[in-house]
Structures are given as C-alpha cells and as structure tokens.
Structure 1
Amino acid sequence: MQLTTDSEQPRGPMAYSPHGWWSILIGITFLCAIGSSRADKPCTASSSIGDLVLLGSSFQVFCTYQASCGASKSMHIDKKKTHQMQPYNSTTIFLNVTNISKNTTYTCLCEGEPEPCGLDIDTGYPPDLPENVTCIQKGEFGEVMCQWRRGRETHLTTTSKLWVRAVFGNSTAGSVSYPGSGSRSDPGLVSAHFSVSGSVQTKYSVWASSSNKLGSAVSTTLNFTLNHIVQPRPPAVSQVECWSRGCEVRVEEAQGAQLLEVQQRAAQGPGPWISHPYTAGSVRNQSIVSLQPYTEYEFQARVRLSHERGIWSDWSPPLSNQTQEEAPAKALDVWYTTSNSPNNSITLHWKRLSDTEARGSIKGYKVIVHDTLAGKSEGTTSSNNISVLSCSRCDITVYALNSRGSSPPALVTIPLRAAKPPQCVTCRNHSNHSVTISWQRPVTAGAASGTGYGPVIGYLVEWFPVGRQVEELRWKRLGPNETHTVIRDNIKPLKCYEGAVYALYEQAVGRAQFEDFHTWESVPSVGPSVYQPVVEGDRVTVSWSEVPQGDRRGCVINYTIYVENSEGKDVGNYVCRASERSFTIRGLPSAEYRLWMTASTASGQSPKTRQSVHFFIKPQNSWLYTMVLVGITSFLVFFLVFFVLLCLYQVSSLRQRVSTLVHCLMPDIVPDPANSKWAKECAKEKGELTLHLYLSESSVSEEEEPDTVEVQELPEGSWISGNPAQRTDSSRTLEGAIHPSSQVLFMPQQIPATDPSTTAYFQSSYLKSFSQESGSSGQTQDSQGTDMTVEYISTHVLGSREEKEEEGLDVMGFFPCPQNPLSPFMNPLVSFGGKLTLDAVRIDCSEFLD
C-alpha cells in the first residue's frame, strides 16, 4: 500500500470513499499498537527453528534486550535459571539446546524490569504410516468396520481418517472420509465404521491417513468385495457330552455356515487352546477324542459360511464339562520308615497320584501284608501312610482305589538286607530355594556277581525337617547312572533338614545318612527354654529344651550358656553341641549366680533368653566347717539326751523312775542277782571277789583292762543263813566307793538287827518284778524258780524316800555323783542277810569330788 500526502490528493469533498478512510484508520491504529507494545516490552525471545520442533532436535534460543537493560541479563529454563547462555552481541544472548526431549518454556529476564518475555517450544513426531488395514462386515447385512495401526505416539494432536471409494460396475464414486477413533484397550489401534449399499459384488477401496502440525501419512489401499469380508456371528455351544476319553460338542445358531471348528483346553491351569480340524456340511456337532479321564475341559466353537465366502466368526463363549473316571493307571510310589520304639514299628508312606495318573477320585488305599510268621493281613486307609507292626519279613502290596477299580500293585519287601551304601554324600546350596545332593557309587556298584545282592538298580534320596520324619517325609527316585540331584520342591527356607541316600538293589538296600542342610537361613529368633538348674556341691547341671521349629530359622549348630555372679561379672561362657540337652558346670565358688542361654546357626547367635535363671552355690566343706558342724551336732545330741534324762528324773515317784529304767534295760522276767553264778561263788569263797564290770560297750576297747569290782564278804554263816532273824545279827551294809577309772569296792558294814525298817525290808520282796508291775499273769510268776522273789525293793521304803528326793531336786540332781555323797539317789543304807542284793549296794561318790 502506498500512502500519498495532502498535496497529492485530489481536491474536493469526494476525494476518498468511506471505505478508504476506514482502511487508513485501522492501519494507523495497528501500527500504533505494535509500536506501543515494542516500546513496553523490555526484551524478545525467539528460536532458530520456530516454536514447534521435532523431538531430539538441536537449535538455539535467543533473548534480545533493549539497550537500557545493560549487563543485567538472564535466561531461565522452566523457571530454573541457567548459566550456559552466551553473548551474541551487546543486546542479545543465546542458548544452545541439544537433543530436546519434551515441551520446554524459555524465559528472558532483565534485572529491574518486572515483566519478562519468553518462548514456549512444543515438541513431537510426525505421524507414522498407518499399517495393517483390515475390514470385516458383521453379518450379511451389517456395517463394515475397518481397523489399522497408527504407529508410535506423536505427542501432538493427530487426526486419523478412513477414506472409502466404491466402484459400481464401470462407475466410480468419489472418496468419502470417516473419522477414526482410538481403542481404549489398545491405544495404537484405530477403527472406523461405514454403511454399505449395493450388491455383494460391489468393489471397495479403503485407505487410512494421519496428520499433525509436523506432517501427514497415508496407508496403502485395501481392495475387497463384501463376499470377502463378511463374518458370521459366533455360534452358541449348547451342550457337551463326555465319556472317559472324549467329548461331543453341539452348537446352535450357525446361520447357514458350512464350516465348524472346535478348540479345547484343560480347565485347571488353564492350559493352551488346542484346535481340532473343522468339519464341513450341515454343521450341528463335532466329536473331540484323545482326552484324559477325569479331567475338566473347556470348549469353544466358531463357524464360516463357506470356503469361498466370508471369514471365520469369533469364538463362542466357553462351555466346560468333565470326562468320566477310569481305574488308576500307575502304581503308587511306596517308601517306608522305621521308628526307634521298642517294637520297631514300620510306617509305610506313598505319594498321592496326580489327576492324570489317578484317572478319578481316589476313595482310599488297600494294604495287604504277608508276614512269614503271622500270615496274611489286609486293611484300608484314606491317608497316604499307615503304620505296620514290626515283622521278621513282610511282603507288602499297596493299591490306590477309585470308583472304577484299583491301580497296579506296588510291592515292597521289609526289611531288606543291608548292602553297600553310596559313598561321599555331600550337600550344598544351589540357590535360596534349592539344594544339590551328590554322592559316589558304592564300591560294588555295577557288579552282578560276588556281592550277594546284584547290581544297583537305582537310588532314592529322602529328606525331612529335623525331628519330623514320619510327618513330613519326602523322597525322590533316580536312575542307576545318576549321582546327584537338585531338590527344589517340598523344601522351604529357614528350615533345617536331614535325610539319607539309598542305593537300591534287587533284594537289598544301602543307606548313607546326611544331616543339617538348608537353603536360606538366618539367626534364631529366640533362645532355648532353660529349666531350673540342679546344684550339687560346687557343681550345677543346666538343662534346656530345644528351640521350637518355627523359631530356629535354619540349622542350630550349638548352644551357649552365659553365667555371671551377683555383681554382674561374667564367670564363664560354655558352648554345647546342638544334640546336647544338659551341661554340668564344675568348680564354681560359693556365691549367687544367674545364667542365660542362646542358640546359634551359621548366620549367628539368637537373642538371650528373656529371663535369667538364678541359682546359689553353698560354701564348700572345709575342716573348719566340718568342726563347726560336728560341734553343733554334738551340742544338739547332748541337749536331747539332757532333755530326755530331765524328763525321766521328773517322774512323780522314784518307783516310776526305776520302773521306767527297768522297763528299758531289763526283760519282763528279772532274775534274782543272789542266784547268779558269781553270787554263789562268792558265798563259797571268803574274801574279796573281783568282778569285771563293763560300764559301756563303747567305753572299753580291746586293749584296755575292764574295770573290776572288789567285794569283801562276811563270814559264811551269816551270809548264807536263810532265816531273816538269824541274818540280823550278822547283817552288813555295803558302803562302796566307785571310781570312774577302774574299780568299785563294796564295803560290808554292820547294821543293828533291831531296826524295824530292816526287818520289814527283808520281809518284803527285794525288787518288784517288772512283769508283775506291768500286770503280767500269775503263771509268769509261778514259772520262775523257787529262789526268785517277787520284789527286790520294798515299796514302802521307796515311798518313804520319795518326798525327800523331790524336795532336794535341782538341775544337777539327776547325776549319780552329786556333791553330797549321801545323795538320796545313793540311799538307803540297807541291811541284808545271807543273800547279796543290789539294793544293799551303796555307791560312795566321794572320790569323784577329790
């Protein structure tokens, strides 16, 4: 546009039309707005390739400032300041962008200016070529649906279209586009629908296109007729009838289809679909054979109009059914264990058959035992093990039973002869969930003769958690040429296992045990349970129970006992083998102690037991301790004797004391001492008679001479006179002195015959018989000799002295040697006649006082 000045414009009021004036006014206003905006903006931002770039591109971003900005220029990338920009000239800086990977905002800022300027860069890809364009007609009169793959994500707004062109005979219609829509289940899939008209012979050409700001793409053209793309709807599987080895599938609503195809798979799993050859003709059913008994299957079907027309329909929804049972096809895998009980009972184990092997629901197991001694026995069980009593030799047969019959027999002979075992059995971790067990062949392996049990026909590896052989026994059979195996199944981490490798012969077996293997282990979670220790002198026996299975977390290799005294000082640590359940600690000094225990695996020690156990070691038996103990014991014995004697002495009368003493020391029938052998000899011989007196059985040794008693007797006439009146003149009192060391001397003394007490004394009995005192019968008394008297001590004499003795009783009154030599215990002085009586003996204790 060229503007002219006023001098050049034509004169007059009609020089410019109204439209021309409005154009000039709008132009001036626009220029003023641009000038104003440039004057207000402190800077501008731009890119070397524009604001829409291809992902991965490299370019420059420029920031141009007004001259007033000076040196205070900065650039930000997504609001983060960058220092990588470079000066371009005095008013412009730039930034090199390499391999851009996303949409980015670049901001230019001049210090002191509140308003920045910026540039938004959008990134993306141009669309890929649409691929795999397909079209189908749903039913003979339905719409046509076409699908294609659009390619990679463009990260930009992209438009997809389906273009359709129909050819009717020799005329061609124009192309019509239909917008495509994406699939939610498959983001890369695009589809479009269109209606058709005309005959089935009409030809169609279709193609797909995609476009965005960075470019566009068009697919190849697909040409077809409706006969090519018509697809019948899926049939309905109405019924599935099965027998043990196959099923027949019946379909409905085939819509005049001439071809039928069926596929099946196992319902448990599920496994892959297996298609069977299609059938042609009037489609109604199809038979499927070669199936497994007692197995549930799923079935699907699809149809096609004919070989020349249409495509296969979609698969119908699945319908399932189960084939019928057959007798089990495989013999059981049987093994056994022997317990350590007194009767050595045998437990049979067998593995459960798989569904394919069982061919039905196993109802139970039949066990037949042929014992060479006990004969034949038979039983059934529903579990996979059974206990059998020990036998000298048993041939055992086991069957699995279902509704159609029994499995082939599994034969086991127990016990088998012992043979050469495998050599050098080793276990090592294969992974955190598996273990490798290897061995070497027995030294006689492969030898068919000379061994007595033939060659090795195979190997068996058994394993189980420690202590749970019967409950969790597992085993694996291997061929005769295999010398290692990897155990992956039925083995868990954090558990300790043991087991054995068996070399199997025809009629023998060789066993090599292994123990303490595991996959992955850790530190035990708890320690053992400690019982209260048993203390015996300076020894203490500590007992404990093993760590529970769930807390061991591997194989326990040892236990440790920690002991400390009451002051908290460690006394010692004692390590015990894992097989031990008690340990004796010796030589501990007397003190109070407490102990803890831990269990250890190869990974480390468990925490200590939650509560410590306390025990006390008493002082040791030294000579001083023994002396003190003997002294205390002697004092207690002396006090006990003193107490008993005191009780005896305090009896109400001397008669009762004497009777009690006689009851304890003399038999029921007490003989008269005057009729004893030594008394008669004394009567024949005048002079002194020495008596051997043993005071105590324990007080006289074999080497010492016994104490003697010297007796001086009166003339023979006065001694042996039988008349009491005659004995009065010649009566003597024996006043003796007894010395504690050697002798007792009895001294006869003269007693007047006129003493009434004396007469009364000898008229009564000398000492009353204990048997009579205790109420014995007269027969007992009559059976005594004629020389025996009824009483030895006069009752009235004893009674007359009882009061005096009780009056003078003191603490030392019961001793035989009081300070007063005329103690009541030694009195009375009694006169006697011809017979020597004990109560005539008076013991003088004055010598004890010297």
Structure 2
Amino acid sequence: MISTWVSVIVMLVAFVNGARNEDDIQPCAEVQTSSSVVPLGSPVTATCVIRDGCHLVIGQAVHIEWRLGDRSLPGSQVANESGRFSEVVIPSFNHTREFLTCCVRASPVQVVGGVEIRAGYPPEAPQNLSCQTNLTTPETLTCSWDPGQQETHLRTKYTLHIKIWDSNENHTYELLPGVHRYTIPRSGFVLFSDMEIYVKAVNELGEAASAPIVLEPVSAAKFDPPTIVKVQVVPKKFGCLKLSWSLSQQQAWMRDYRFNLEVQLKTADNSQRSEQPILVSRVRPTRSVDQCRLLHGTQYLVQIRVRYQQGPWSEWSSSRAGVTLESAPTGRLDSWMKASGDHMHKQLNIHLFWKPSKQFRANAQNVSYIVSVKRVPGEKGKLCSTKGNYCTFKLPEKAKKVYLSAINAAGKSLPTEVRIYLPKAPSVISDVTVLPHDDRSLLVQWRSLVSSSLTGFVVEWRPLLETDLSLTQFEITDRNQTQFLTTGSFEPYKPYGISVYPRFKDGIGLPQTVNAYSRQKAPSMVPEIQINKIWQSQIELTWEEMPLDQRNGIIQNYKIFYWDKKGPIKVVNADPEERRVVLKDLNNVSPYKAFMMVSTFGGSLNGSTIHFEIEALDAVAVVMIVTLSGVGLSFLIVFIVLTYFRNQQRLKGQFWPAVPDPANSSIRRWTSESTQDSHLSWDNEEPDPMYLSHLSFLDLPVKLSKEDDDPWLSNAEDTSDLGESICDSPFIRGYSGSNSDSVPYATVIFSGPCNSPTPKEAHVYLRSESTQPLLETEESFSPKCYHNVASDRMPSDQCFFGPSHDCVPEKGADPGILWDDFPFLRALALNDTQND
C-alpha cells in the first residue's frame, strides 16, 4: 500500500515535471525517508536528490523547499557544485498520516517528489480473554477479549490460537479487522479436555499476545435456567422447606454430575428477602435441597440457579411458592392511638393503629388481632377483632389501657399494652415541610419547642383520595428527631396528607398537617370563571374550588389574563384560598376577553376564554341610584311628618285660622267639660268646650263706612273695656242695626274654672264681620258647670267650681243667688251697674 502511494506521486511528478520522452520517463527528483511508518511523535529524516536531466533546473540555480502537507519546513541544502541535494529533519511527527513533498522554487513552485509517512502505536496485549460454552444445539465455544485502551491508528491483525492438550492439536483463527469476538465450532474443541487459548495482535510497529487461559469447555458452559419441581414442608421442623429441582431437557444428560446451587427466598408480601443468595455446593439434580431457619407459617417464593464447577451462573429459574409450618405469633406490635370525643363525660372514641415491629413474627398466613380491656383476651372485655391493621371502638368507662394481641391457628402472642392518652391542647410543632426525596419516599421536616414533658413525635401519612383507614401508616420517633424519611408506594401526582403529632407524658398534642406530592405536574382541568358582580368600571370574577383529584400538585396561584381590542394584556394574581379577583379601571366602550391559568410546581394549564363588557350604566349603578333616592325621599317625608306633629297648632294657625262657626255660636253649647285649649277642634263636629268667665257687648255705630277705621283693628291692643258698653244692644231699648234679625258677635273672654291657675294670656275672640243671626236651640241637656242649679243641692257658701278668691257675694245681693253660678247673667249685671 505504501509503495503504491509513493509510485503514484512519483509518476505524477515525473509526468508533469520530468523528461517528456515516451521511451525514457524518469522522475525529476528522488525522495527517501528513514521509515514510512514511524511511532507517533518520533523524529523523521528525509532527503531529496534532483536528477541532472530535470528540465526545471537546466541552466539555472536550484532552490529546494520542503512541505509537510500545506505547511513549509525549513530544509538544509548541501553545498556542492550542482546544489541539487537537500535534507530535512522533522523533530516530532505528530500526524497519523501525512505527505512530505520536495519542491523546486520556480514561478510557481513546482513539486518534484514526495513520500507518505504514517504514524501510530504498536498493539497492546489483549485483555480479559474469556470463553463460554453453549451446550444447546448447536454446541459452540465463544471467546471474546478487550483490545486495550490505546488506539494504534494503524491496521492491527488479531488471531485466536487454541491448543488441545490431550490430542496435541493446534488451531489458529484469523479475525476480521475491528472484530474482537470469535465462535469456535464444535469440531474445534473437546468438552472434557483441557485447552490452552490465547490471542495475538500484530501491526507494522510490532505484535503482542494475551495471557493464555486453560479451561475445560464443559466447565465454561452456561447452563439453561433450572426448574423447581416442588417446594414442600419438612415434617416436624419449623422454618424449613424442601426443594426438588432439575436441569432443562437439553441438558438433562448431565443429571449425574455435581453442580453448585444458589437459592433465593423472599416472603410473598415482599416484607422479608434474603440479602445474599444461599449457596449449596456439589449437589446432584436428582437430590432435593433443604432450606431452614425461615419464618414460621410464612409463604415464600423460591428461585434457584446453577453452574458447573467454576463456570458462569445460569439465569434464575421461575418462582415457586411454599409455606413453612405455623407457630404462635411472637414479638410485640407497634401501636398508635388517637382519641376523640367528650372526655369530660367519659365518652371517648379510640382509633387504634398497629404494625409489626422488627421483632414481631406472625408465624402464620392467617392472623387476626384482638383489642381487649383484659390482659387475657376473651369474649368478655373484647372491644374489637379484625384482620386489618386498625380498629375503632368506644372506650369503656374507667378504662385507662387496652391490650392488643395477635392470634393464629397455632396460638396467640403475648399482649401488647396500649395506654389511653387524652388529647391535649398545647402544640409544640411548627413549620412542617415535606420535600420529595425520590418516587418512593418523602422527607418530612418540622420544628418543635422545648418542653420537659415532650417524649417524642408520631409521623402519620395516608392517601387523601382514599377513604380506607387501613392505608394509614405511621412511624414513632424520639424527642430529639426533627425529620423523618417516609417510604412506601407513593403514587406520582396523587395527594398525601402528612401529620406530625407531639407525644407527651400524659397525652397527645395537636398535630400540624400538610399536603404533599412525590411528583407534580400541570393540573388536569381549569375551573370555569363566573361573573359574580359588576360595578361601574369594575368586575368581580369567581370560580369553584378545584377537585382534589384534578390538581396533580399543590396549587401555587391563579392568574387572570384579560385584554380589550385597544389595550395590552394585563395579568392579575389571585389568592389560591379566596378564589376571587376584582378587575378594576375597565373601559366601558370596548368588550373584554379573559382566561385563567392555574399553576403547580409541575406546570401550568390555561382555561377557556370568556367574553364580557362593562355597560355605561349597569344594573348595579341603577339599583344604587334608586336605593339612595328612595332613602333620601323617605328621610324627607319622615322629617316633614315629624315637623308637622311638633308644630301642628302653629301651622293650623298660619294656614287654617280658627273662625267661629255660626251654627255653633249658642252659649248653651259652651260647656265646662272641655280642655283648656281655646281653639276649635277640627276633628270633632262641635267646638271644644270652654270656660266662660266674662261676656260683654260692643257698641256699634249705626253706619259704617269704608273710610272709617275698623274699630276691631284700632282697638286691638286695648280690649279691656270693649264689653263695658252695650249701646244699641239687642238687649237694650233703642238698639238698631242694619238687620234687625241679626246681631254682631260679642267679645267673649274665657278663663279656666275658679280653682284653675290664671292663664298667662287671656283667650280672646275678636269681633266677626258676619251678621249671621245667633241660633237658638231648644234641646234639653244636662246642666253644665255654669248653669243654675237648685239651691238645695249646693251649699250657699261654696262655688259651683270650687272655692276661689273671686267667690265673694256682693253686698245687697240675695244670699240665695250666687252670681258665679250664672256667669252670663253676672256679666249683664255688671253692665247694668256701670250704666247706672
């Protein structure tokens, strides 16, 4: 190969730059090297000699240059007459393959000769030679090896050499380049005859051979997985199983040879498994194998594998189950108790959980558990019996402890005493956190306060999507521990409730509970957004709580994205606990779009888009305006009504003056059974009764003109003597008026009864312009307070209205007549006296 490349280069250079003669074609120069294949990094020396007949140097000075690939090398030209010899030295050849060329300096530079140099490493001795025999049809012997860590960069040839000692046969097998494995046919080896095997590697820089191995082909055979025929109980031996096994059908002809056997046992519930397989040496397939020191009454799954002498192990056989003899349970149970209910009235509900301790052995497949208030379990005092790992019961009165026992067909265990601890209010635990450790464990961490009565903690965990209490697990830790690694079958994306309880000397404290996930991802759904309230430029959005099985992790936040046609997208974060958000400063011109994004630690999910818009005057604003208007109007009406009732009489006097009714002007209707109010009542048909104390008639002129002043108005400020004159009175001779059948109203001054206090202002009726005749009535009525009564019914020295300082009879008066009893006549009498 090397000579071929050199010949190609030389012929090419000779054709281009050599003598162009059909009969004599020679190269223009000759290049020689110390070696065309050298160790990588070693020095290389080369020489170049220009032929005398080379047309490139005829009649001109010769200048030789060297090139290694595209890079120029400094050369040393030998000083002689022709100057056509040059030598170059490469201190370190760092290329695995490169061309070294000799050139003549011309225009342009001309290549006159060259050579290819390759570099690499000699082969290493092959390592890890091993051979394995296949006893299935067809039977073969396969050997493999490792060529070494270092690459040679040269073509390396491998050959496999075998020498059979008994027959003194030698076999050599050549391998293809790059192949480090060879399978020897059955004709090349003898099963029960020792063989010497080695591998040789050769390249242009050297050769190396592996260390030879000596083996018997049958001892290098990897047998097929054996078969477990049956697993039986050893009679009268607890904890022992008898195994019967055999080879595969193709290898059954070796049943009389002794094999090494390994046994792997594990309990059916995978709670116990032997750390190392149990080795049984030199056993024939026709003989059974006993395995003892196993758990009593426990079902085991058994697997075996075999090998011949020091050969490779076969693959594991299929599993076969077997059960050891039963015995009574041994050891104690770990328990965890929670109490609830009214402990003041001795009505406690107890939730008791238990699990096997490291020392407990059920020693049977079917085990039940009994909780009793008596140490020796029986029907009397039994609280519950179950095959599970928990029990719920009502605690009997005065019971301070219960006993937990395991029972199987062979007997019962010693009872485990469980003290009843009442729940306590103090909590010394805070900052409970849960971190995923891997897919099958969670790391629980917490903080606790220093307490002298604290004895330890209980870590409890259970799946929140399951209601079966048997799935509850727990672990009891000491008081100095503040973290615990929970292990179990934690499903990814499923929530688990983890609680940490403090244990005191006399009770169980309040727990701290958190939810945790071994792995989280984006939620499976997004709640539907509901428009709850709309205000002017504001809107409230609400949504329902997400189902626990759809969360796939702990909800970190809800984000509302909303936008209109004109503005950018805005984002509002909502509190995960409140599940509501208020969008403010909204534009009531353009419609809006919005959607929700729900996020967990494992990802986020976007919900569907909703549309809404804010009206210029929405329903809420209308309701608020109408409500405020109604409230204001109601307050105004109430104020007016209250003002009216407080100032009723004053308003009556302003808007409706009290004008005497002519139809009710008879003095006969003036009674003493009225109140002190002198104004007429509009609520009753007749005027309010009044007390009469003085009556006078006014003197009126015969004619009144419009130019004359109104005597009522002119004398309004002084009316004390208006009743002194009765000139032209209808009761006086010579009276004349405009109408003889009518009389003007008289001024009547009222006061209270004799024993009533003197009013601050006298009640006065001014004169009326009406000429309505006074009506007289003839109906009968009972005597009023001012009517005359028989003298025999009242003492002469007593007023009708009671004693008073005005009740003094005048001189010369008839002692049988009391003028105070006749106020009207008394007024007439006073007037007559003045006239006299």
Relative to the length of structure 2, the TM-score reads 0.48
Query: Which has the larger share of helix?
Result: 1
Relative to the length of structure 1, the TM-score reads 0.48
